[in-house]
């Protein structure tokens, strides 16, 4: 009976040692996974930031081109530019100023 108890207690100690080693491997895997996920998050943020920066540069470039085009057209046709600005002002005044709505104040 003594030998049986010695074998089972040796097997139990070995099983506990195996479980302890396996738990350490799992902990290490979880630490590695946490690091990988953090790296993925950082990569995603970095890619999103690069995309936003690129979009901002493109918008700035388009704005500059539009501004240069408008300046060129105004310089070439100053009378037409003033007439257009006047017409837009009248239309906005009618729309938001209540001009021509028939209201009496």
Element (H, E) at 19: helix 2-76
In a domain, 85, yes or no: yes
Contacts of 73 (CB under 8 A, 6+ apart): 81
CA-CA distance, 59 to 65, in Å (whole number)? 10
pLDDT in tens, 1-36: 455 555 666 768 888 888 889 999 999 999 888 888
Residue 16 covered by a domain: yes
Question: What is the model's pLDDT at position 86?
Answer: 93
Work out the burial of residue 31: count CB atoms within 10 Å of its CB; fewer than 13 is exposed, 13-18 middle, 19 or more buried: exposed
Could you tell me if residue 77 is inside a domain? yes
pLDDT confidence of residue 34: 87
Q: What are phi and psi of 13, to 5 degrees?
A: -65, -45
Give a yes or no: residue 28 inside a domain.
Answer: yes
Residue 103 lies in a domain: no
Range of the domain at 13: 2-97
Query: Of 61-65, 72-76, 91-95, 97-101, where does mean pLDDT reach its minimum?
Result: 97-101
Number of domains into which the chain is organized:
1
Domain membership of residue 18 (yes or no) is: yes
């Amino acid at each position: 009976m003594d030998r049986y108890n010695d074998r089972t207690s040796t097997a139990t100690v070995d099983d506990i040692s195996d479980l302890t080693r396996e738990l350490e491997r799992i902990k290490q895997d979880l630490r590695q996974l946490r690091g990988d996920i953090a790296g993925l998050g950082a990569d995603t943020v970095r890619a999103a930031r690069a995309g936003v920066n690129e979009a901002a540069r493109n918008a700035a470039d388009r704005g500059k081109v539009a501004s240069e085009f408008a300046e060129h057209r105004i310089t070439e046709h100053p009378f037409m530019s003033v007439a257009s600005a006047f017409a837009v002002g009248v239309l906005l005044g009618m729309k938001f100023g209540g001009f021509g709505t028939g209201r009496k104040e």
